[in-house]
Amino acid sequence: MDVHDSELPVIEGTLIRLNVDHLPGDRDAPPVWLWSSAIGATPDDVNLVWSCHLRRFDLEHTFRLLKQSLGWTRPRLRDPKAADRWT
């Protein structure tokens, strides 16, 4: 049975569309879509979801920058055994 031929389940939640009012350089930003498993989210719930997304975005990019500056994204392995120890 092909997975794509079966009926998809309905998953209830709240879909949140974020629009940016202003970007530097007179650019237009596409909307950001977020999904929450909370059903019937209140405006306070929506505010919490997008602010948590913003904090997560900040953290992920901070770790990405740190990994790049520490050289963790490109290993310089001279010995095949070093590949097993590389983090």
Phi-psi region of 31 (alpha: psi -120 to 50; beta: other; left: phi over 0): beta
3-state DSSP call for residue 7? coil
pLDDT value for 44: 93
Rg of the Cα atoms in the chain: 21
Structure tokens at 49: 């979801």
Please tell me the predicted confidence (pLDDT) of residue 33.
Answer: 93
Do 18 and 30 form a contact (C-beta atoms < 8 A)?
A: no
Q: What is the mean pLDDT of the chain?
A: 82
Distance CA 23, CA 86 (A): 40
- The answer, yes or no, to whether residue 77 has pLDDT greater than 60, is yes
Section 19-27 average pLDDT:
83
pLDDT in tens, 36-76: 888 888 999 989 998 998 899 888 988 888 877 776 666 66
Residue 1 has pLDDT above 60, yes or no: no
